Chain A
Amino acid sequence: MAAIEILGLEKTYMVGFWRKRPKRALLPLHLTVEEGEIFGFLGPNGAGKTTTLKMLMGLVFPTAGTARILGRDWTDPEVKAQIGFLPEQPYFYDYLTAHELLNYYGQLSGVPAKDRKRRVEEVLESVGLTDIKGVQLRKFSKGMLQRAGIAQAILHNPKLVFFDEPMSGLDPLGRREVRDLMVRLKQEGKTVFFSTHILSDAEALCDRVAIIYKGALRGVGAVEDLTATVQGKVEVIWHGTQIPASLKALGAECHVTGDTVSAVIPESQQDAAIDALRRERIRLIALTPLRTSLEAYFVEKLQNSPDGTGKTLGTAV
């Protein structure tokens, strides 16, 4: 069973004061997230990630389309008992302490009173919030608030967790802890759907990712599969120090290291390179496809999008 099935969700806002004009925040989106996977929803700021999440949470109503969450209609209130949500830059009732806040959210999520206190302590410890008893949230730092946000999202032991920019505001140690937490959630059989514009996080964590830009889905799949589509380069390593002339003619950049030579060539010319080495009776040691980073794929998708100029990528990625 799919954890999330998004079936053509789209959102158009009417903007302007006197003369209202439509602004499409999200074009029809079709997306399936399988149970038990960590799914990254990637895109630059303003791409439509948060709009999608808000629609799935029932905070914003779609212009068209529908979705199914954990096999049930997304509008079914009971579905929400099985999902957790961390909004972007969360802000909580700052007159409460973290314990009071989590106790309140536990009540709203239907966590039984007998388990609540223990569960609150557990999740606070799991996000690294200790020694904060009696401290109101208004005295929390941004990073501590983010941790409290993650704690409230997993408090009721949900099957599916939505994180909107979970690493935001966290120091390197905090980011690592959140990454570990996500892996732990996956190991517990939970599905994690998180949006981010920090690609290294997605690359390190996700089973699959989707890339969204200007409200449209630009690509979806496993990180390895996606990056494979834009590789197009292979590394050839052979024995000796000789560089065949025909290989040079292919435009290969060759590096001699000890008694081996390595060259990076376009994938389309790998057969020609092997033939050249055979003709010269040179022993081939390795032929390895070069893995391109998710960032390279991301940049390529955005630059090649119908209306993408890539101009904003410097700040977005």
Chain B
Amino acid sequence: MSPRILHIARNTFREAVRDRVLYNLIAFALLLSGAAIFVGQISIDIERLVVVNLGLTAVSLFGVVIAIFIGIGLVSKEIEKRTLYTVLSRPVRRWEFIVGKFFGLAGTLVVNTFFMAIGVFGALLYVAHKFSRPDALILVALYFIVLEFLIICSLALLFSSFSSPLLSAVFAFSLFVIGSFADDLRGFAAMAHGATRWFATGAAYLVPNFSALNVISAVAHEQPMGGQLILQNTLYALFYTAMALSGAVLIFERRNLK
């Protein structure tokens, strides 16, 4: 990897860490984990199920909010504030800037997920008093959540490369919601006829399939995860991320920074 990408990623990470809103979101996520403990205590015999469900959902949702919140401003804010001028007037390629920004945000989310995951495991230990073998599956769910973040980061960057922060947020959040129901969209496409079928099928495969990455409920119910699913989801997320990032680079390479 080019050292410049690493420097840009590190600076992006530093910006996120110094952003106070980020801490608020993390605090809120930890609060939700606390709520999971409370709800778990009043849910007789299903404490673990409630804690895992609520805790992982909190990790996922707040991670998505952080990814969108920071991601949409990564490029547009730099253009608006003209901080980009003194970066791109150095021997930095535009694609290096985009990729560096992506890794910086992705790194931020991985670190956040790590700390939030500690909160989830802490809550689980509090209600169950010990870890059991199926709890290892939580790590798989967390891994899929991170993959989800990678896709959202790349989409937020893609929108940020040509749109305003507000519109980028609307686009990214809409895609997140639609993508969360991608399986339903595919089911609808299979049942539809004529042009609707073509349109629905196209849309179903174009939007990110977040429902395939959501195994929170399965993990809460201690259902086993196959290696094939992990491999498939990994390849899918990496491919989708690469495509979205390529789109961001293609747009940004041609953009006039007025």
| Chains A and B form a bound pair | yes
Interface of A with B (CB < 8 Å)?
A: 13, 54, 57-61, 77-78, 80-81, 83, 85, 87, 89-93, 95-96, 104-105, 107-110, 149, 152, 156, 162
B90 touches A60 (CB 8 A): no
Counting from the closest, the 7 A-B pairs by CB-CB distance are A85-B89, A59-B257, A107-B7, A87-B85, A95-B18, A57-B89, A80-B91
Q: Which residues of B contact A90 (CB under 8 A)?
A: 82, 85-86
CA–CA, A271 and B87, complex, Å: 60
As a 0/1 sequence over residues 13 to 50 of chain B, the CB contacts with chain A under 8 angstroms (1 = contact) are 01100110000000000000000000000000000000
- B227 CB within 8 Å of chain A: no
- B235 CB within 8 Å of chain A: no
In B164-194, which residues have CB < 8 Å from any A CB?
none
Cβ-neighbour of A105 out of B19, B81, B82, B86 (below 8 A): B86
A57 touches B11 (CB 8 A): no
A108 touches B90 (CB 8 A): yes
B88 touches A58 (CB 8 A): yes
For B85, the closest partner residue in chain A by CB is A87
For B92, the closest partner residue in chain A by CB is A108
- B256 CB within 8 Å of chain A: yes
CA–CA, A17 and B7, complex, Å: 38
Q: Which residues of B contact A93 (CB under 8 A)?
A: 11, 15, 83
Interface of B with A (CB < 8 Å)?
A: 3-4, 7-8, 11, 14-15, 18-19, 81-93, 254, 256-258
B86 touches A109 (CB 8 A): no
Q: Which residues of B contact A162 (CB under 8 A)?
A: 89
CA–CA, A125 and B81, complex, Å: 26
Q: Beyond A54-B257, A90-B82, is A104–B11 a contact (Cβ under 8 Å)? A: yes
- Rounded to whole Å, the gap between the CB of B4 and the closest CB of chain A is 6
A85 touches B86 (CB 8 A): yes
A-B contact pairs, 20 of them (CB 8 A): A54-B85, A54-B258, A57-B89, A59-B85, A60-B256, A60-B257, A87-B86, A89-B82, A90-B85, A91-B81, A91-B83, A93-B11, A95-B19, A104-B7, A107-B3, A107-B4, A109-B90, A110-B91, A152-B86, A162-B89
A77 touches B83 (CB 8 A): no
Cβ-neighbour of A59 out of B4, B81, B83, B89 (below 8 A): B89
B18 touches A77 (CB 8 A): no
Apart from the given pairs A108-B91, A110-B91, 12 other A-B contacts in the complex at a CB distance below 8 Å: A13-B258, A57-B85, A59-B256, A77-B93, A78-B91, A80-B89, A85-B86, A87-B86, A90-B85, A95-B14, A95-B19, A162-B89
CA–CA, A93 and B78, complex, Å: 9
Interface centre among A59, A104, A108, by most chain B C-beta atoms within 10 angstroms, is: A108
CA–CA, A61 and B256, complex, Å: 6
A108 touches B7 (CB 8 A): yes
Q: Which residues of B contact A107 (CB under 8 A)?
A: 3-4, 7
- Rounded to whole Å, the gap between the CB of A146 and the closest CB of chain B is 13
Cβ-neighbour of A92 out of B86, B89, B92, B93 (below 8 A): B86
Cβ-neighbour of B91 out of A59, A104, A109, A152 (below 8 A): A109
CA–CA, A61 and B252, complex, Å: 12
Q: Which residues of B contact A108 (CB under 8 A)?
A: 4, 7-8, 87, 90-92
For B15, the closest partner residue in chain A by CB is A95
Cβ-neighbour of B82 out of A78, A87, A109 (below 8 A): A87
Q: Which residues of B contact A105 (CB under 8 A)?
A: 86-87, 90
Q: Which residues of A contact B11 (CB under 8 A)?
A: 93, 104
CA–CA, A156 and B86, complex, Å: 13
- Rounded to whole Å, the gap between the CB of B119 and the closest CB of chain A is 26
- Rounded to whole Å, the gap between the CB of A250 and the closest CB of chain B is 54
A58 touches B91 (CB 8 A): no
Q: Which residues of B contact A85 (CB under 8 A)?
A: 85-86, 89
- Rounded to whole Å, the gap between the CB of A119 and the closest CB of chain B is 15
Q: Which residues of B contact A156 (CB under 8 A)?
A: 90
Q: Which residues of B contact A59 (CB under 8 A)?
A: 84-85, 88-89, 256-257
CA–CA, A149 and B85, complex, Å: 11
A80 touches B90 (CB 8 A): yes
Q: Which residues of B contact A104 (CB under 8 A)?
A: 7, 11
